[in-house]
Amino acid sequence: MTYTASVVGGTGFTGGELLRLLAGHPEFEIEQATSRSKKNKTVGHSHPNLRDLDLRFSDPTDLDSVDVLFAATPHGVSMERIDDFQAAADTVVDLSADFRLETEAQYDEWYDGHSRPELLAESEYALPELNRENLEGAELIASGGCNATATILGLLPLFENDVLSGDERIVVDVKVGSSEGGAGGGPASSHPERSGVVRPYAPTGHRHEAEIEQFLGTGVSFTAHSVDMIRGASATAHVFPDEPVSKGDLWGAYRGSYEDEPFVELVAGGGGVYRYPEPKAVAGTNRAEVGFELDPGNKRLVIFSAIDNMMKGSAGQAVHAANIALGIEETAGLEFQGLHPVGAP
């Protein structure tokens, strides 16, 4: 069966990634890719990997009827245009933060006032490993944020399997690539200033803390650093359980949570060069790597998780969610295994 799909906001990095995935998807057919600034230009003008796609950007105010509409627009746009989006499509998958939080109070704490707060309760947050069942048949889906996804995937098994109760202190130190900053440019993201950095860009107060708290039921002490890669988010969680935990306990917990998950891979020790989760190893894929190490001397667990922020952290997760919503094979269009060697990339 073939479903029609449109991408609103097709010139950005996330929009391009959605178009790439939809073009290669066995059950989706691209109807429209919209762009205000590059109307009538080819998709390949913005995304050189898509030059052979016979598609030009169309006006975002003139939306065709489709089965699924993906909104890859800046935060705040979807809440303004949601009626148009829902008029055009049975299923709307929004990749911004507009519909990720459950209540207006939460939203107001972290963002600047929501114009359609009544929709917050209706939308479904998409992190399939967390809440796959809610996504089946969903009509408004808020695809999870990249750093939140990495963090939640790392910590979830500890909560699901009672290693943590929610009262413990959790430090999450995240390293992200430059694609998180988007296609816009600006001095801080120019190559001379951005290359080779370890740059604290969200020392405290990162908005993804809200998503994390909403789903784990506890806040985390979150800090993000920009590092020299393009794609990738790596989260290192430092966790202090009240009771001692063995390596066997951890393997049990993580296998229990993830053994049937098609997009989560456990990587914890072993030999060779790649012994723990790394963004390099998942670049271009929808895979999350999750792993851990024990530090008995400090009564600490160190949890590592790594994703491609453009894939499992945004476009891939959105397509995964759409697959579930429409009853398509979950992995359809998301089978790319990644490259080796590759530069994260």
Q: Binding to a second copy (CB under 8 A): which residues in 192-211?
A: 192-200, 203-205
- In whole angstroms, how close is the CB of 96 to a second copy at the nearest point? 19
Per CB under 8 A, 228 contacts a second copy:
yes
- Radius of gyration of the chain measured on its C-alpha atoms: 20
- In whole angstroms, how close is the CB of 121 to a second copy at the nearest point? 25
DSSP reduced 3-state for 158: helix
Among 27, 39, 45, 139, binds a second copy (CB under 8 A): 45
- In whole angstroms, how close is the CB of 253 to a second copy at the nearest point? 17
Q: Please, which residue, 34 or 236, has the CB nearer to a second copy?
A: 236
- In whole angstroms, how close is the CB of 80 to a second copy at the nearest point? 25
**How far is the C-alpha of 176 from the C-alpha of 179, rounded, in Å?**
8
Per CB under 8 A, 340 contacts a second copy:
yes
**How far is the C-alpha of 218 from the C-alpha of 237, rounded, in Å?**
14
Comparing CA positions, the residue from 35, 116, 29 lying closest to residue 68 is 29
Per CB under 8 A, 55 contacts a second copy:
no
Give the CA-trace dihedral at 320, 324, 327, 333, to 10 degrees. Answer: 10
Q: Among residues 146, 148, 216, 227, which one is catalytic?
A: 146
- 86's enclosing H/E stretch is helix 77-88
Q: Please, which residue, 1 or 198, has the CB nearer to a second copy?
A: 198
- In the region spanning residues 264 to 323, those forming contacts with a second copy, defined by CB under 8 A, are 265, 267, 270-281, 283-285, 293-295, 297-298, 300, 302, 304, 306, 310
Per CB under 8 A, 240 contacts a second copy:
yes
Q: Please, which residue, 75 or 194, has the CB nearer to a second copy?
A: 194
> At which residue do the structure tokens 């590092």 appear?
227
Per CB under 8 A, 234 contacts a second copy:
yes
Number of Cβ within a 10 Å radius of residue 243: 10
- CA-based end-to-end distance of the chain: 34
Per CB under 8 A, 36 contacts a second copy:
no
> Is 146 designated active site?
yes
> At which residue do the structure tokens 């959605």 appear?
18
Comparing CA positions, the residue from 308, 324, 310 lying closest to residue 68 is 324
Among 63, 92, 229, 319, binds a second copy (CB under 8 A): 229
- In the region spanning residues 137 to 176, those forming contacts with a second copy, defined by CB under 8 A, are 169, 171, 173, 175
Per CB under 8 A, 70 contacts a second copy:
no
Give the full edge-to-edge strand order of the sheet including 28-34: 28-34, 3-8, 66-71, 89-94, 140-143, 124-126
**How far is the C-alpha of 104 from the C-alpha of 120, rounded, in Å?**
7
Q: What angle do CA 147, 217, 320 make, to 5 degrees?
A: 45
Q: Please, which residue, 81 or 320, has the CB nearer to a second copy?
A: 320
> At which residue do the structure tokens 């998503």 appear?
211
Among 9, 16, 157, 316, binds a second copy (CB under 8 A): 16
Q: Please, which residue, 79 or 268, has the CB nearer to a second copy?
A: 268
Q: Is 309 annotated as a binding residue?
A: yes
Could you give the residue numbers annotated as active site?
146
Annotated binding site for NADP(+): 11-14, 309
